[in-house]
Amino acid sequence: MRVITNILFSLLIFLVACKQEVTKDVERGTIAMNGAVSSAHPLASQIGVDILRKGGNAYDAGVAVQFALAVAYPRAGNIGGGGFAVIRTSEGEVNTLDFREKAPLAAHEKMYLDEKDQPIKNLSVKGHLAVGVPGSVAGMVTLHEKYGRLPFKVLLKPAIELAENGVVLTDAEAKTINRYHDLFREVNPQGFVFTTKDVWEQGDHVTYPALAKTLKLIQENGRDGFYKGKTAEGIVGEMKQGGGIITLEDLEKYEAVWRKPLKSSFRVYNIISMGPPSSGGVALLQLLEGWEQLSNPKWKHNSTESIHLMTELERRVYADRATFMGDADFVDIPITHLLDSSYLENRFASISNEKATDSQIIKAGEVERIESYETTHFSIVDKEGNALSITTTLNGNFGSKVFVKEGGFFLNNEMDDFSIKPGVPNQFGLVGGKANAISPEKRMLSSMTPTIVEKGDDLFMVVGTPGGSTIITSVFQTILNVTDFGMTMQEAVNAPKLHSQWLPDKIVYEKGKMKRVVLDELKAMGHVLDSTTQIGRMDCILRLEDGSLEGASDRTRSDGVALGY
């Protein structure tokens, strides 16, 4: 009897030990029963949760978070930029909203080239000519009109209060502002809030009275508060004095557009993502299809085999991106063909398991800032299961650096996302051709990939990140981390990421986070390796089996936070 008792006791200890082991090894994000918001700034996440608690749905919270980020996270949060929203309602309706910037009416194909047809350095990146017609305010008004529940005015209130009462800078934010000090002065000789001090420090308190006034105009007048009247005149005045080309007509004509979502299956999941003018959805679906066709379930996360296959898929997918992708309102994009599984089977048939393929030799120039994080993404799920995935940007940090002083906000430098000359890389090293050439009122190609994943008929995951060209590959890896490598949402967000994009022909990995033996094996296969400080800053939400939500923000790479209730 005693022996049996001892055996049972040992068994019990063993089981408890196993359970603790599992619990100890698993890292979860914020667990919430009713609703969750994951964003790049704690104040914005808190504002989103407050709106959900007040009975707002995910779309109300999204509008409030977008405007809050415009105040609290001015390097990327914006009213002077644009973005994309992917929507899945609790009834399973899916939709996507395009509020991407547009080229002004006076834009033309060679506007960034000199008389010898050579790109003029920085003209598409810095200053007034780099600015596309902003889309964010039209986007939020349009999103709210179709899906919002609380009055629009209520959703603007927290951002207005934030602008009036001020925001305390984190260390990272103060350093980021300081880094751009000279550029701010160069582009804005008349000065503005960030040039009132030479060195900003953690804990400094910044108020934005001019921005508060603009937000009030939007609160009162909806889109007219931005695209007409005082705000529009402020933008056009700034353009005139700085040599920009955006007119009142450009602003008045801007519309956000509902577009058919891209939807495709991957294993037992459905992926819902953004179509053109973002390349993100097409590229992501191509990558997942290739992975489903060619991967092996025995492969471990970030093993030589899995990184090799990812890189080979990415090489081919980014080459397709450069050739075919642009604004579908202007060019025919063979989307059905690009996503056809037999096309992809053929496309990927040349992948060898042993050797890296040479990327086509095109002079791709140097990638200036592959590790920069100037876009921002947020994910929201409410208690009914409505889901929202928004990626929004000024493109570069603080966009073009042009600050509309009267209005209190930065303008984007999204024009650099056009192909300013075939084969000439943009700031993310991306090349393009005719399909993404500049044309009046055309939208520039994007890599932003806000995405929602269903499992069967149910909501499963909401994902997205900043990162320029690395957005697509970070979203790809984060989805696989959960679906194929068994990670929690937080682990998938934290996991070391890699990136490759056809040209420049190399695999970029996060320094100090990869196994040396794997890097050596990849090198032996013919891959060129390069390191960077960070890839991806995901803000995601996973719906767990018991219906609760796991919000995960990238605490290891950013100040972001996921909150819920």
Closest of 183, 173, 185, 1 to residue 72, by C-alpha: 173
- CA distance to 188, 236, 540, 554, per residue, from 239 (Å): 12, 5, 37, 37
Site membership for ligand DON, residue 273 (CB under 6 A): no
Number of helices followed by number of strands (H, E) in the chain: 18, 21
Q: Which is nearer to ligand DON, 375 or 494 (CB)?
A: 375
Tracing tokens 């504002």 back to the chain, one arrives at 47
For ligand DON, the binding residues in 81-110 under the rule CB under 6 A are: none
- Minimum CB separation from ligand DON for residue 479, in Å? 18
Q: Which is nearer to ligand DON, 421 or 557 (CB)?
A: 557
- Minimum CB separation from ligand DON for residue 360, in Å? 22
What are 213's two structure tokens? 């006034």
Q: Which is nearer to ligand DON, 60 or 98 (CB)?
A: 98
Question: Would the annotation count 395 as a binding residue?
Answer: yes
Which member of 468, 504, 551, 560 binds ligand DON (CB under 6 A)? 468
Exposed/middle/buried for residue 342 (C-beta within 10 Å: 0-12, 13-18, 19+) = exposed
Please identify, among the stretches 209-217, 303-311, 349-357, 462-470, the one whose residues bind ligand DON according to the rule CB under 6 A: 462-470
Which member of 467, 504, 560, 564 binds ligand DON (CB under 6 A)? 467
Question: Would the annotation count 2 as a binding residue?
Answer: no
Cα 444 to Cα 112: distance, rounded to the nearest angstrom: 14
Per-residue contact string for residues 330-369; x = within reach of ligand DON by CB under 6 A: ----------------------------------------
Cα 445 to Cα 104: distance, rounded to the nearest angstrom: 15
- CA distance to 444, 492, 497, per residue, from 475 (Å): 21, 10, 10
Site membership for ligand DON, residue 417 (CB under 6 A): yes
Question: Would the annotation count 417 as a binding residue?
Answer: yes
CA atoms within 13 A on the CB side of 554: 26
Site membership for ligand DON, residue 372 (CB under 6 A): yes
Question: Would the annotation count 553 as a binding residue?
Answer: no
For ligand DON, the binding residues in 440-459 under the rule CB under 6 A are: 446-448
Q: Determine contact, residues 172/203, Cβ cutoff 8 Å.
A: no
Q: Which is nearer to ligand DON, 88 or 321 (CB)?
A: 321
Cβ burial 64-74 (10 Å sphere, 16+ → b, else e): bbbbbbbbbbb
Q: Determine contact, residues 315/419, Cβ cutoff 8 Å.
A: no
Q: Which is nearer to ligand DON, 52 or 325 (CB)?
A: 325
Site membership for ligand DON, residue 560 (CB under 6 A): no
Annotated binding site for L-glutamate: 100, 393-395, 417, 446-447, 468
**Residues contributing to the site for ligand DON (CB under 6 A):** 372-375, 393, 395, 414, 417, 446-448, 466-468, 471
